[in-house]
Amino acid sequence: MASDLINLMNLSPKELGEFFVSIGEKSFRSQQILRWIYQFGVTDFDEMTNLRKDLRAKLKELCVIKAPEIVTEQQAMDGTTKWALDIGDGQLVETVLIPEDDRNTLCISTQVGCPVKCSFCRTGAQGFNRNLTVSEIIGQVFRAATRVGFSQNQEQKPISNVVMMGMGEPLLNLANVTKVCELLLSDYSFALSKRRVTVSTSGVAPVLDKVAGKLDVALALSLHAPNDELRNELVPLNQKYPIAQVLDSVRNYLDKSNANCGRVTIEYVLLDHVNDSTEQAQELVKLLRTIPCKVNLIPFNEHEGSGYKKPSNSRIDRFYKVLFDAGFTVIKRTTRGDEISAACGQLAGQVKDKLAKQKIEAKVN
């Protein structure tokens, strides 16, 4: 039965090698399969011409290579493209490609919805259902590559950067995210530099401590507030892991990382008259003074149902100036894909909120 077939896209490079050994083959076959899938975009075993015919027949009996299908595609005037992918059960996750002159950055999702529920984020408002599998995460990169080119297609510009900043909190899906990172970095797969793979977190401190020295990719911290009182409102996870604890975990991660060049990226969404005053900028300077970092200022991307507003340009500029004058590397993020709801904080997909359903059932019972 098809449901019994092993989806090779769910396996890390190491697991793929172990699989081939388990069926009586040499482990190097995994390298050939990885190249066919992730460098040439081939999912039909019959087209893998450097495999023996009997091996191809065996793989067809045991395995499948399956990524979620793209069901909708939207493109903004600036070239930003958003895809919705079907992960079954009537649910969709969203992936965004941001093209620039020197790179193609792909923003991918790691969960169906998000359990963190930051107050300004449309994804959290959709609720949360489950973690995405390895094939559902790496499959987003695969599907995007079918549109912009795989690494072996020199006539097209392949994906150069992958950021886990889409739907979900990556560190709450650690096992699968780790395998996806291994696939992104493998020389036989997408072969990205560790500095071009970024995991973003809202601050799951214990998990960040756990992966320090083991998962070496670029790190971004979604901070959004200069103190615990405000961050408790904006990022509810802060009530469990306050800023001081999170920043200690960030320092620990940086100490053991080569990918970050000693610096974390601080993501700070600017909300009009909420966290964007010059006084709050000065407070942020004091908070981050001992944290090697660069700061991305992200003007809030408005969406239906949110009570927050984007600050005026003058408020954004004043906030920026305080940080810049204090010696920080500061970037004012340009909004991309806003008209197709592809900008930061706007991804929603289609989520059946399992947590909400469980809460309702608990009340009934």
Which residues does the annotation mark as catalytic? Answer: 94, 344
DSSP string, 195-240: GGEEEEES--HHHHHHHTTT--SEEEEE---SSHHHHHHH-GGGGT
Looking at residue 78, its amino acid is: D
Give the C-alpha distances (Å, rounded to integers) separating 161 from 101, 180, 195, 196, 269: 13, 14, 9, 5, 22
Decide if 165 contacts 231 (C-beta within 8 A).
no
Strand partners, 107: 96, 163
Could you give the CA distance from residue 85 to residue 67 in angstroms, rounded to a whole number?
9
Q: How far apart are CA 203 and CA 267, in angstroms?
A: 12
Q: How many CB atoms lie within 10 A of CB 163?
A: 20
List residues bridging with 113 in a β-sheet. 128
Q: How far is CA 41 from CA 118, 134, 175, 207, 363, in A?
A: 36, 17, 25, 33, 48
Residue whose token pair is 């890390």: 12
72 by DSSP, 3-state: which? strand
* Cβ contact 67:142 at 8 Å: yes
